[in-house]
């Protein structure tokens, strides 16, 4: 597991974004022992505030949220922080909009709900191995 940038010993930061508090709590339980700095946001706007205030290496965002969809959020993050790895998490069978978002180059990976814990951890590990701090 890669949990720190070896050169600088800075913990790698993972931001989870979902309007459902229970989903954020589940992600926190899953990732709390992984050695990452874990940040949580209940909206796209809050996530953008965080991105503007500090370095985030990976964002996992829900697709369907009020006021700003996950694909729109990840598109904004791609502009603000192009090196941030972007993962879209969705429980909806709205594959068409997910494909469009992926084709626009705004997401690196798609994971469906309900997710497999091992898949989420493996996705994060693979993503952070490629992140340049």
CATH of the domain at 57: 3.40.50.2300
The pLDDT score that the predictor gives to residue 127 is 85
pLDDT digits (tens, 9 = 90+) for 80-114: 999 999 998 877 666 666 666 666 657 888 888 88
Q: Distance (Å, rounded) from C-alpha 61 to C-alpha 29?
A: 17
Does 1 fall in a domain?
Answer: no
Q: How many domains does the chain have?
A: 1
What is the pTM (predicted TM-score) of this model? 0.85
In the chain (133 residues long), the average pLDDT of successive 10-residue segments reads 47 92 92 88 97 95 90 92 90 66 73 86 86 56
pLDDT at 52: 95
Q: Which residues contact 95 (CB under 8 A, 6 or more apart)?
A: none
pLDDT value of residue 4: 43
For residue 95, is it within any domain? yes
Residue 100 lies in a domain: yes
For the record, the structure tokens of 9 come out as 């010993």
Q: CA 115, CA 64: separation in Å to the nearest integer?
A: 16
Contact 129, 4 (CB under 8 A): no
* Nearest residue to 108 (alpha-carbon basis) of 130, 87, 131, 129: 87
Range of the domain at 55: 10-130
What pLDDT score does 132 carry? Answer: 52
Residue at 54 is within a domain: yes
The rounded distance, in Å, linking the Cα atoms of 127 and 122 is 8
């Amino acid at each position: 597991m890669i949990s720190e940038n070896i050169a600088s010993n800075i913990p790698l930061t993972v931001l989870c974004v979902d309007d459902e508090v229970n989903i954020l709590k589940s992600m926190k339980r899953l990732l709390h022992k992984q050695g990452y700095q874990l940040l949580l946001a209940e909206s796209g706007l809050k996530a953008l505030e965080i991105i503007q205030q500090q370095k985030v290496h990976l964002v996992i965002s829900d697709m369907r949220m009020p006021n700003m969809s996950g694909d729109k959020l990840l598109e904004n993050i791609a502009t603000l922080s192009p090196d941030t790895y972007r993962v879209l998490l969705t429980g909806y069978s709205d594959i068409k909009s997910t494909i469009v978002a992926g084709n626009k180059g705004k997401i690196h990976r798609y994971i469906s709900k309900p997710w497999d814990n091992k898949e989420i951890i493996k996705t994060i590990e693979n993503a952070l191995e490629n992140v340049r701090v």
